[in-house]
Amino acid sequence: MTTYRIAPSILSADFARLGDEVRSVIDAGADFIHFDVMDNHYVPNLTVGPLVAQAIKPYCKRADGTPVALDVHLMVEPVDALAQMFAKAGADIISFHPEATRHVDRTLQLIRDAGCRAGLVFNPASSLDVLDHVMDKVDLVLIMSVNPGFGGQSFIPEALRKTAMVRQRLDAYRAHSGREVLLEVDGGIKADNIAAVAAAGADTFVAGSAIFGHKDYRAVIDAMRGELARVA
């Protein structure tokens, strides 16, 4: 049985009440907190930096104290210095776009050296080739199902085919290495398409507007889990 994880993106949360929003969405069943960092350079939008990550870190835990991973998605260029700042700020996972760094292997290594799990993010038009020689340093693959930069966009169906391609690669890799790499999909995910994304092979689902755009976070997360329970 696959363990599915739902990762609400706080991009669509109420930024004036971020701590409460993080707490509410964790109470509602979030598995990860997805933290979108945009720099108005790699993407045409500007969001939050390490200070805000540090401020919400104490909220990233369940009522019983169990930690909830702070899943930082860097849409910034260059990557290395900011990745290290986010590691210090308390990130558990740091993902970056390979186009945004000069030396992908080095960036993966420095994220891991800083004690975090490292992720590679693939835009809708990006090929997966960069994975070939760095798999041993990758803990998570993130497939973008929208072009990065904004919440609330529509899911690009081609992402399903690409997710299935990554699933094959990760299964083959696990067969000889014994190592599990997470497969996360980000953009336009809602209760009515999450099952298709899972069927394509994803195990971790980012959802921003679908969750924070609704009054009852638990109702949305429960609906998503209900859909996931029906995936073979």
Query: In the chain, which residue ranges form alpha helices assigned H by DSSP?
Result: 18-27, 50-56, 80-89, 104-113, 158-177, 194-200, 209-212, 217-229
**Residue 186 lies near ligand DX5 (rule: CB under 6 A):** yes
Residues 6+ apart with CB under 8 A from 189: 145, 155, 197, 205, 206, 207, 210
The item of ligand DX5, Zn ion, none sharing an interface with residue 146, based on CB under 5 to 8 Å by kind, is ligand DX5
- Other CB atoms within a 10 A radius of the CB of residue 232 amount to 5
Tell me whether residue 96 or residue 176 sits nearer to Zn ion (CB atom). Answer: 96
**Residue 206 lies near ligand DX5 (rule: CB under 6 A):** yes
**Please, what is the minimum distance in Å from the beta carbon of residue 214 to ligand DX5?**
11
Which residue's C-beta sits nearest to Zn ion?
73
Q: Which residue of 21, 36, 71, 184 would you call a contact of Zn ion, by CB under 5 A?
A: 36
Q: Which residue of 12, 163, 193, 204 would you call a contact of ligand DX5, by CB under 6 A?
A: 12
**Please, what is the minimum distance in Å from the beta carbon of residue 230 to Zn ion?**
26
What's the alpha-carbon Rg for the chain, to the nearest Å?
A: 16
Tell me whether residue 59 or residue 155 sits nearer to ligand DX5 (CB atom). Answer: 155
How far apart CA 122 and CA 12 sit, in angstroms, is: 21
Q: Is 36 a catalytic residue?
A: yes
Under a CB-based contact definition with an 8 Å cutoff, are residues 207 and 190 in contact?
A: yes
Q: Which residue of 186, 188, 202, 224 would you call a contact of Zn ion, by CB under 5 A?
A: 186
Sign of torsion, CA 147 152 158 162?
Answer: positive
Listed ranges 48-56, 76-84, 122-130, 207-215: which one lies at the site for ligand DX5 (CB under 6 A):
207-215
Kindly list the catalytic residues. Answer: 36, 186
